[in-house]
Structure 1
Amino acid sequence: MKAVNLNSFGYTVWKGNKIYPASFQCGYCGSYVTSNYGMALGYGEEYNFYNNKPYGVYICTKCNKPTFIPSEGIQIPGSKFGSDVKGVSEIVNTIYNEARDCYAADAYTGTVLLSRKLLMHIAIDLGANEGKNFKEYVDFLANEGFITATSRDWVDVIRKISNASNHELVKNTKEDAENLLQFCEMILKTNYEYPSSLK
C-alpha cells in the first residue's frame, strides 16, 4: 500500500525547526515576551513549508512554559487581566485569582460573577457581618471608606453589571469583566497591599 503524503492535501502540520517570532503576555507568569523558540505551525504543500506568521507553540523566555497561538487574536492559555496583589488573605486572594483565570479563558460572565463574590468576601474580611446582600456589602465598603471618595461613581456601575449577571439572562462582555477586575484590584491594593507594605 502506498503511503499518503498529508501535506499534499494542504493539511496544517507541526514543523519544529525555524520559528517566526511572536510577542505575547505569558498566561503563566504574566511577563510580556518575544519568543522565537518553540514549534511553528506551518502550512505545507508537498515538501515546501510556509511559516511566515507568528503561529505555533511558543516557549516563554521567562518561565519556559508553552503558549499556543493558532491564529490572529487567539492565545492558549490567555493572559490574565490585572496584577497580583500582596498582603491579601488567602480566601480573598484565591477568589481574585479565580476571576482572573476566568478572564484568561475568555469566560467573561464567570469573571463578573466571581468578582461579585469577591467584593462580598472583601467586605466580610474588612469587618462586615455575614448574611447580607450584595448591595449591603458594597454600601459597607463605600460607607466605611474602603472605597475612595473619587471612586464612588464606580459603585453604581459595578452594581448594575453584577446585578444583571446574577439576576438576568445576560452574557457579559470583555469590557464588563475588565471593569470589575480593575475595580476589585483597586480595592485590594488600597486596603491590603499598600497598608501591608508599611509594616
Structure 2
Amino acid sequence: MSNLDLIDSICGTCGKEVSLTKLRVSTNFQYGQDFPVDDFEVFICPRCNSGSVLNLKLQYKQGRRREEIELLQRSAVNNADMYTLSPGPLPMPRLKNLPDDIESAWDEVLNAGRASAWTAAELMCRKILMHIAVDQFDMDEGLNFTAYVKKLDEERFFPRMMMPVIDGIRERGNRATHDLASTPKEQAIKTLDVTHYVLRTVYEMSA
C-alpha cells in the first residue's frame, strides 16, 4: 500500500492512534469550469470503521483545473497543512477508566482542540486538575484553583519535579482568562500533554 493511501492520525470518532486508510476518491458539483467545490477523499479507521473526509483547502483549489486539483489531492496526505479532515483528528487520545465528570471534562478538552480552540482547551485542563482534587481527596467544590493545587502538593500527589509544570498551568490559565491574547497552539499542547499524563497515571494505569 502506498504512503499516499495512509494518514497517521488520532481518529476523530474513536480517539485511537491509527493509520487511516484511503477508501475512495469522489469529485462532484462543479461551479464554472475551473473550480470543483467538493473534491474529497474518504479514509477509514481500522479500529472503529468510521470514515474521515479529507478535503483540500480552498487556497489549493482556486484558479486550478480539475486535473491539477486531483493531483494535489492525492499528494496532500503528506502535508497536513494542505487539507482538513472531518471529523477532525483529536489532539490527544481518549482515556479509559475516567470518572464520568472527568471523562466529560477531558472530552471537552479534546473537542476544543479538534476545533483549534486552544484557549478553551487549556482552561479546561485547569478544571480537570480541580476535578482530580475533588475526586481523590473529597475537597469541596467552588474553591479557587490555587487551593486545589496546594492540596495536591501537600498530599504529594504529583512528583515534586512536576509541581513547577502544574503551577505553570495555573499561571497560563490566569493569563488566558484575563488577557485578550489567545493561547498559542504550541503552549496549549504542552498543557494537554501534562494533563493527559496525569490522567493516564492516576486512572488508566492504576486500574
Structure 1 equivalent of residue 21 of structure 2: 35
Q: Deviations 1:128-161 (Å, cap 9, x if unpaired)?
A: 2323111211222222122112212202321121
Letter of the 1:95 counterpart = A
- Given that 1:67 and 1:76 are in contact with CA atoms closer than 8 Å, whether structure 2 keeps it comes out as yes
| 1:12 aligned partner | none
SS at match of 2:201: helix
84-93 or 31-40: bigger deviation = 31-40
Q: Secondary structure at the match of 2:205?
A: helix
1:152 aligns with 2:163: yes
CA distance in 1, matches of 2:129, 2:89: 22
Which runs of structure 2 are paired with 1:84-163 in the superposition (5 Å)?
84-127=94-137, 128-163=139-174
- TM-score, normalised with respect to structure 1: 0.73
Q: Decide which moves more: 153-162 or 27-36.
A: 27-36
Deviation, 1:103, is: 0.8
For structure 1, the residue ranges without an aligned partner over 5 or more in a row are 1-19, 48-53
**Higher helix content, 1 or 2:** 2
Query: What stretches of structure 2 of length at least 5 have no aligned partner?
Result: 34-38, 57-81
Give the Cα–Cα distance (whole angstroms) in 1 for the partners of residues 166 and 203 of structure 2.
19
Q: 1:153 to 1:64 in 2, by over 3 A?
A: same
Stretch deviating more after TM superposition (54-63 or 186-195): 54-63
- Which residue is 1:5 aligned to? none
Partner amino acid, structure 1, of 2:180: L
Displacement after TM superposition at 1:74 (Å): 2.3
Given the two structures, how large is their TM-score scaled by the length of structure 2?
0.71
Q: Matched residues, percent identical?
A: 28
- Identify the range of structure 1 (117-126 vs 68-77) with the bigger mean alpha-carbon deviation: 68-77
Deviation, 1:41, is: 4.8
What is the CA deviation profile of residues 35-90 of structure 1, one whole-angstrom value per residue up to 9, with x for unaligned ones? 22133458x9x99xxxxxx9523233332222122121422222212233333211
Q: Tell me which residue corresponds to 1:4.
A: none
The 2-side partners of 1:142 and 1:83 are apart by 27
Distance 1:174 1:41 in 2: 33
**2:42 maps to which of 54, 57, 66:** 57
**Pairing 1:21–2:5 present:** yes
